[in-house]
Structure 1
Amino acid sequence: MVGGGIVGLAVAWRCRQRGLRVTVHDGGDDDAAWYAAAGMLAPAGETSFGQEALTALLVESASRWAGFAAELTAETGLDLGLDARGTVAVALTGDDLAEAHRLWAYREERDLKVRRLVPSAVRALEPALSPRIRGGAHIPDDLQVDPRRVVAALRAALGDAVVPGRVGELPAGPVVVAAGTGTAALTGLPVRPVKGLVLRLRGEPGLLRHVIVGYADGRHVYLVPRADGELIVGATQEERADFTVTAGAVLELLRAATDLVPELAEFQLTETVVRHRPSTPDNAPLLGRWRDDVIVAAGHHRNGVLLTPVTADLIAGLVDTGRPDPLLEAFAPGRFA
């Protein structure tokens, strides 16, 4: 296994559960996308127009998360921070609400639950929201998890199977490449870095009860509360590969966040994190056999944490049996050849 991020570790864990011997080559410096990820498990929130196969994979993986988390916690005794209270989506202006309704209708057509709410009902769910909110929706099936806790648990479960250090070329096969943006250099496949900035705030626990996905004067922002008072604000998206935290990007996120929840202006800004999403030309992952002895699990774009359980199951099954699950067909690594 090349790559010790959340996807690579989960694949290795599932492979070992099947009785396979695994070695994970892990850079070990937490520079991958999972380290910045907020951990939203929201297939409805990440559904995009025209991506039917990806939507189906997102929904399938979300349905596997509770079982995946329960198994990992049972094995390691570590709490992953799984929360099942759902998402509240909100719109600040009339134009924001029109855009939100268009997205909600698309999701409802695909049997993804969206309960639309008038402003008073939205604020009954989340009293800290601005009185300017024009409307919203509750998405009850969404979950959240703490990716940093998940990676710590997977590392604990795998123990000395995780070997620190990067590889400059692929080791002798069979090998699974789950190296995030590093997959391009190792395989030549079209995986590019997409820069994202995430902020971590800290304040009084309990200000927000749900994940908030907001549309604020044309800006999109999410707020992910943790039980201990930490709150994650994200995320920007730029076609860049640098790690610079710019004042403008921080301002953009904080302005949208405080427009939706004014009390966040009093929270402490504790961390700014830039990482790079591994993205492909169609923003869908590369999953499956690339050549006889090399299997790829990379290019998950914004959905690496959400797609972890289904990726781990499908890739481990392919490694073990040699037979690809039909769910892999749309994500074959050779589709851009």
Structure 2
Amino acid sequence: MIRENHDVVIVGGGVVGCALAYGMLARGKRALVLDGGDSDPRASKANFGLVGSYGKGYGAPRYQQLSRESVALWAGFAADLREETGIDVEYENDGCLHFCLSDADYEEEAKFLANWNAQSPDADPCSHMIDRSALERLLPGTRLGAEVVGAGIGAADGHCNPLSLLRALQQAIGLRGGSLVGNHTVSQIEPIPDGSFRVRVRTPDGSRCFETEQLIIAAGLGSTSLGAMVGLDVPLRPQRGQLLVTERLDSILRLPASGIRQTRDGTVMIGVSHEEVGMDLGTTTFTAARMTRRALRILPDLALASLVRHWACLRIITPDEHPVYAQSSMYPGAWIALCHSGITLAAVHAGPVADALSRDALPENFEFFHHRRFDVSQVI
């Protein structure tokens, strides 16, 4: 069995794990990223691509602040990736819309946003409501459906190409001297008496073993079983999201929106469902029809477009739907990082979070994100 030593081993080669590795490599850490097989459920490769804080962390101002912080860092993050790798992640931040299809819908969204903004009174209220006339001025050339009465807008929000983002991060890891290996499914994590960890993996041609003083579990839904090996018991559940994509079209929607966005190459993405179906990655015509009907109420010109793909992904959902960042109390040096908003939070993961983890710590004011919040006995 081959044994290798690294400063930090990150289990999980999606956007969360790769962003952490990218940032830690910049701070002098010899980082190894272990990724599983292609059959693993990969949220990073089936993502809608929105980058925004709109509505994030309702009832949890610390999560709202983290999302706002990451959005503010995203332009520099995308520019650095392009300069380093030559890959354009197609980031744009001219705003992101949340369409309202009735007066009641508009009033409900306005109330939601007012409450959300009030939960962070010291922050700039960058999300607000606009009526139909303002929306039409914002989207010249877009023919909106008759039912559209207005929208909420996250003025600092935007979107990117999530596949390009993952490819850029993976390439940058190599350029910075790190390693990313696929088809390396972690089978066992063994704490060693000297305070380090032995990570055993299965590979197509046998097995390997890696030793490290710092371990970060960022393996999405696989993190439940892996975390339990080092005293990090985090409750998770999968949530299915189905997506559709059309053929390439002329520009019909300048800004991305929740559930509908036009990519730079002209395709239109339509989604996203929220289904509690366990680990089922199947697609259904019922959900596709429902998502399509709503999209046509917003953009009736889509009626002439052909759908070319329909797929599903599994989100990583904690009981309160907020991220988890924590160190094991049983085995210091073992960490876990989980969220279902890995695209939006990529910039903060590569920046302040990676910076703190490179010093075997977490940023200040991260106590809220510890998974002990799910243990009633800890909070009563």
Q: In the alignment, which residue of structure 1 is the partner of 2:204?
A: none
Superimposed CA distance per residue, residues 123-156 of structure 1 (whole angstroms, 9 cap, x where no aligned partner)? 2323321122222244321121111100011111
Q: In the alignment, which residue of structure 2 is the partner of 1:195?
A: 240
Counterpart pick for 1:163 among 171, 174, 181: 181
Give identity over the alignment, percent. 29
Which segments of 5 or more consecutive residues in structure 1 lack a partner in the other structure? 214-221
Contact kept? 1:287, 1:315, Cα under 8 Å:
no
AA in 1 matched with 2:288: V
Q: In the TM superposition, what are the counterparts of 1:126-275 in structure 2 within 5 Å? A: 126=139, 127-159=142-174, 161-164=179-182, 165-170=184-189, 171=199, 172-173=211-212, 174-188=214-228, 189-213=234-258, 222-240=259-277, 241-275=279-313
Query: Equivalent residue of 1:273, what SS?
Result: strand
Q: Does 1:2 align with 2:11?
A: yes
Counterpart pick for 1:46 among 49, 53, 56: 56
Counterpart pick for 2:354 among 297, 311, 316: 316
Shift in Å, 1:205 = 2.8
Distance 1:308 1:28 in 2: 22
Query: Equivalent residue of 1:288, what SS?
Result: strand
Q: In the alignment, which residue of structure 2 is the partner of 1:20?
A: 29
TM-score between both structures, scaled by the size of structure 1: 0.91
Q: Which has the higher helix share?
A: 1
The range that moved more, 242-251 or 33-42, is: 33-42
Pair 143,185 (structure 1): closer, same or farther in 2 beyond 3 Å: same
Distance 1:310 1:210 in 2: 24
Pair 316,108 (structure 1): closer, same or farther in 2 beyond 3 Å: closer
Pair 167,262 (structure 1): closer, same or farther in 2 beyond 3 Å: same
Pair 6,330 (structure 1): closer, same or farther in 2 beyond 3 Å: same
Query: Equivalent residue of 1:326, what SS?
Result: coil
Shift in Å, 1:122 = 1.5
The range that moved more, 63-72 or 200-209, is: 200-209
Q: In the alignment, which residue of structure 2 is the partner of 1:219?
A: none
Counterpart pick for 1:32 among 19, 42, 58: 42
Which segments of 5 or more consecutive residues in structure 2 lack a partner in the other structure? 1-9, 190-198, 200-210, 229-233, 376-380
Shift in Å, 1:17 = 0.8
Distance 1:288 1:314 in 2: 15
Counterpart pick for 1:116 among 125, 129, 138: 129
Distance 1:139 1:132 in 2: 21
The range that moved more, 141-150 or 94-103, is: 94-103
Superimposed CA distance per residue, residues 221-258 of structure 1 (whole angstroms, 9 cap, x where no aligned partner)? x2111121111112101122201101111111111111
Distance 1:232 1:327 in 2: 36
AA in 1 matched with 2:362: P
Contact kept? 1:122, 1:137, Cα under 8 Å:
no
Counterpart pick for 1:106 among 112, 115, 119: 115
Superimposed CA distance per residue, residues 203-222 of structure 1 (whole angstroms, 9 cap, x where no aligned partner)? 32311100123xxxxxxxx2
Question: Aligned pairs, how many?
Answer: 326
Superimposed CA distance per residue, residues 248-293 of structure 1 (whole angstroms, 9 cap, x where no aligned partner)? 1111111111111111122221221211111111111111312312
Pair 199,9 (structure 1): closer, same or farther in 2 beyond 3 Å: same
Query: Equivalent residue of 2:373, what SS?
Result: helix
Query: Equivalent residue of 1:211, what SS?
Result: coil
Contact kept? 1:5, 1:151, Cα under 8 Å:
yes
Contact kept? 1:233, 1:253, Cα under 8 Å:
yes
Distance 1:276 1:55 in 2: 23
Shift in Å, 1:95 = 1.9
Pair 288,47 (structure 1): closer, same or farther in 2 beyond 3 Å: closer
AA in 2 matched with 1:238: E
Q: In the alignment, which residue of structure 1 is the partner of 2:317?
A: 279
Distance 2:72 2:300 in 1: 34
Shift in Å, 1:47 = 4.4
Shift in Å, 1:45 = 3.9
Query: Equivalent residue of 1:239, what SS?
Result: coil
Superimposed CA distance per residue, residues 79-130 of structure 1 (whole angstroms, 9 cap, x where no aligned partner)? 0010122123321112211211112222443432234323222123233211
Distance 1:63 1:288 in 2: 24
Q: Which has the larger radius of gyration?
A: 2
Q: In the alignment, which residue of structure 2 is the partner of 1:95?
A: 104
AA in 1 matched with 2:168: A
AA in 2 matched with 1:97: Y
TM-score between both structures, scaled by the size of structure 2: 0.81
AA in 1 matched with 2:126: K
Q: In the alignment, which residue of structure 2 is the partner of 1:293?
A: 333
Distance 1:16 1:113 in 2: 33
